[in-house]
Amino acid sequence: MAGAIYVETYGCQMNLADSELILGHVAAHGYTTTDDPAAADVILLNTCAIREHAEERVVGRLTDLARLKARRRDLVLGMCGCMAQHHRAAVAARVPALDLVVGPDAYRRLPTLLAAARAVRADAHVPIRGGRRDDATAAASRVADVDALVDVRLDPDETYADLPSARAAGAVRAWITVMRGCDKFCTFCVVPYVRGRERSLAADAVLAQVRVAAANGAREVVFLGQTVNAYRDGDCDLAGLLCRAADVPGILRLRFTSPHPADMRPALIAAMAEVPAIAPQLHLPVQSGSDVVLTRMERGHTVADYRNLVARLRDGVPEIALSTDVIVGFPGESPADFEATCRLIEEIGYDHAFLFKYSPRTLTKAARWDDSVDEEEKGRRLAHVIALQEQISAARNRRWIGRTVEVLVEGAARRSPGCVAGKTPQFLTTVVAAAAAPGTCLTAVVTGATAHTLIASAVDAAPDDRAPRAA
């Protein structure tokens, strides 16, 4: 047995899927998984670099976890993911206890890197001579003045298509990464620098993963990618991939996230309109409602293009639920630009929105510009859009009261004893007063709604096709 590993994940769904991949890969090399950092031989933080706040949380947590090393000299503390790629030397310098820094394209080499780091820890009471760690593995290098093994090589061909994922057996929803990286270079975003260029998994490899997920009990699949609708394997684009996945027995619902508005091709909208398994829901980041700002963000579309796209989506998929990402306080965002964003949010009527204050990221183009909106004003703008969206979400959810919905049950409702919680096809969280196994599709009538949740009562429970049957 190689030891126990504890992985803590920050950031987006792609990082969660990467953590499952890391756990599956190291399990194949003899590691067991633990939920308790104090019981672990290896602690790995899978990090996010999208905003400064995310990075500060990780540094704080690493500093806390480093205390465990006072009692456990052989414990290996590592950091992987986007921040490992972005700020490797800076973080390793701030957290001297860090043993390992692994970028998002280096997970295949993790077993070797872990073995090397653990060998160094086992010898930790012996003074380490310069070069000792470099000799430990050819894959890693030593960053000047930092005592950690570092492997942050980006690899334009790495998709991990062949690595086993430790996707939780029995989970109702499976998140499957179908493409990695981004070629868009929006001026605010660090992703293209830390995740590298766009690359897609082979369609057959994705479908094999969908079949395994279905066999393990998944009823819903979400295809993931930084710009997921840039997916392409030969003639197969995302629309083709979704159509093929819809034929996999056992999969009731398909989703994908996050698409880029400029890559929303007619074939994809047609597939959403025509294939019943593709859920009527889309997360469509807009970032700003001002053309001046969108141009400076280099988003590759105008507000009118976006409006037009939403009209085509609503035309093809009338019940579609839309969500978005918005950044407030981008360099040069005037009060009028901000006002235009608020008006667009109202006009589109998003079901949900992720709202962010602009955070300058080194390496990006915008980081070289004057961060002209001060923190206080950014805070005011953020509070304003949050309040606005809260009202809109509440009103959108109230529209469902009295209607019948299909709820795919995920488990017991956390705050409502005797109830189960799941999602409607629109990805609206719904609490139903019923007893039903995860994976069951309940037909329910919506009786109440808040900005974040629908309340419903079951009218008819479909038999749970996963429960053991009486002979």
Find the part of the chain contacting ligand SF4 (CB under 6 A) among 35-43, 181-189, 341-349, 412-420: 181-189
User: In sequence order, which residues have a C-beta less than 8 Å from that of residue 304 and are 6 or more positions away?
Assistant: none
Among 156, 185, 267, 308, the residue binding ligand SF4 under the rule CB under 6 A is 185
Determine if 359 is a binding residue for ligand SF4 (CB under 6 A). no
Tell me which of ligand 5AD, ligand SF4, none is bound by residue 264, counting a contact when its beta carbon lies within the kind-specific cut-off of 5 to 8 angstroms: none
Determine if 167 is a binding residue for ligand SF4 (CB under 6 A). no
Among 47, 226, 288, 393, the residue binding ligand SF4 under the rule CB under 6 A is 226
Helix axes 375-398, 335-348, angle to 10 degrees: 10
Phi then psi dihedrals of residue 113, to 5 deg: -65, -40
Determine if 227 is a binding residue for ligand SF4 (CB under 6 A). yes
Determine if 85 is a binding residue for ligand SF4 (CB under 6 A). no
Cβ proximity to ligand SF4, 116 vs 182, nearer residue: 182
Least distance to ligand 5AD, CB of residue 299, Å: 10
Tell me which of ligand 5AD, ligand SF4, none is bound by residue 427, counting a contact when its beta carbon lies within the kind-specific cut-off of 5 to 8 angstroms: none
Least distance to ligand SF4, CB of residue 24, Å: 25
Tell me which of ligand 5AD, ligand SF4, none is bound by residue 142, counting a contact when its beta carbon lies within the kind-specific cut-off of 5 to 8 angstroms: none
Cβ proximity to ligand SF4, 184 vs 466, nearer residue: 184
Size of the site for ligand SF4 (CB under 6 A): 10
- DSSP assignment of 69-106: HHH-TT-EEEEEEHHHHHSHHHHHHH-TT--EEE-TT-
Contact 75, 121 (CB under 8 A): yes
Residue ranges of E strands in 178-311 = 179-180, 199-200, 220-224, 232-233, 236-237, 253-257, 281-283
CA–CA dist 75, 121 (Å, integer): 7
Q: Residue type for 33, please?
A: T
Distance of CA 443 to the CA centre of its chain: 29
CA–CA dist 306, 287 (Å, integer): 11
User: In sequence order, which residues have a C-beta less than 8 Å from that of residue 355 and are 6 or more positions away?
Assistant: 325, 326, 328, 382, 385, 386, 389
Tell me which of ligand SF4, ligand 5AD, none is bound by residue 23, counting a contact when its beta carbon lies within the kind-specific cut-off of 5 to 8 angstroms: none
Lookup result for tokens 């995302």: 238
Determine if 189 is a binding residue for ligand SF4 (CB under 6 A). yes
Find the part of the chain contacting ligand SF4 (CB under 6 A) among 90-98, 177-185, 276-284, 316-324: 177-185
Q: Residue type for 250, please?
A: G
Cβ proximity to ligand 5AD, 287 vs 290, nearer residue: 287
Least distance to ligand 5AD, CB of residue 439, Å: 30
Least distance to ligand 5AD, CB of residue 291, Å: 17
User: In sequence order, which residues have a C-beta less than 8 Å from that of residue 332 and are 6 or more positions away?
Assistant: 292, 293, 296, 369, 370, 372
Determine if 366 is a binding residue for ligand SF4 (CB under 6 A). no
CA–CA dist 212, 208 (Å, integer): 6
Distance of CA 113 to the CA centre of its chain: 25
245-284 residues in contact with ligand SF4 (CB under 6 A) are: 260
The Cβ-side half-sphere exposure at 107, using a 13 Å CA radius, reads 29
Determine if 178 is a binding residue for ligand SF4 (CB under 6 A). no
Cβ proximity to ligand SF4, 146 vs 228, nearer residue: 228
Tell me which of ligand SF4, ligand 5AD, none is bound by residue 73, counting a contact when its beta carbon lies within the kind-specific cut-off of 5 to 8 angstroms: none
Determine if 192 is a binding residue for ligand SF4 (CB under 6 A). yes
Determine if 191 is a binding residue for ligand SF4 (CB under 6 A). yes
Least distance to ligand 5AD, CB of residue 359, Å: 4
Residues that bind ligand 5AD (CB under 6 A): 50-51, 188-189, 285, 287, 325, 327, 356, 358-359, 361
Pair type for strands 42-47 and 3-9 = parallel
Tell me which of ligand 5AD, ligand SF4, none is bound by residue 165, counting a contact when its beta carbon lies within the kind-specific cut-off of 5 to 8 angstroms: none
Determine if 224 is a binding residue for ligand SF4 (CB under 6 A). no
Determine if 108 is a binding residue for ligand SF4 (CB under 6 A). no
For the chain, state the CA radius of gyration. Answer: 23
Count the neighbouring beta carbons within 10 Å of the beta carbon of residue 324: 24
Determine if 180 is a binding residue for ligand SF4 (CB under 6 A). no
CA–CA dist 242, 398 (Å, integer): 31
Tell me which of ligand SF4, ligand 5AD, none is bound by residue 192, counting a contact when its beta carbon lies within the kind-specific cut-off of 5 to 8 angstroms: ligand SF4
Least distance to ligand SF4, CB of residue 152, Å: 18
Tell me which of ligand 5AD, ligand SF4, none is bound by residue 182, counting a contact when its beta carbon lies within the kind-specific cut-off of 5 to 8 angstroms: ligand SF4
Among 150, 182, 271, 293, the residue binding ligand SF4 under the rule CB under 6 A is 182
Residue ranges of E strands in 100-170 = 100-102, 141-142, 149-151
CA–CA dist 200, 152 (Å, integer): 20
Residues of the shown chain interacting with ligand SF4 in the complex, contacts defined by CB under 6 A? 182, 184-186, 189, 191-192, 226-227, 260
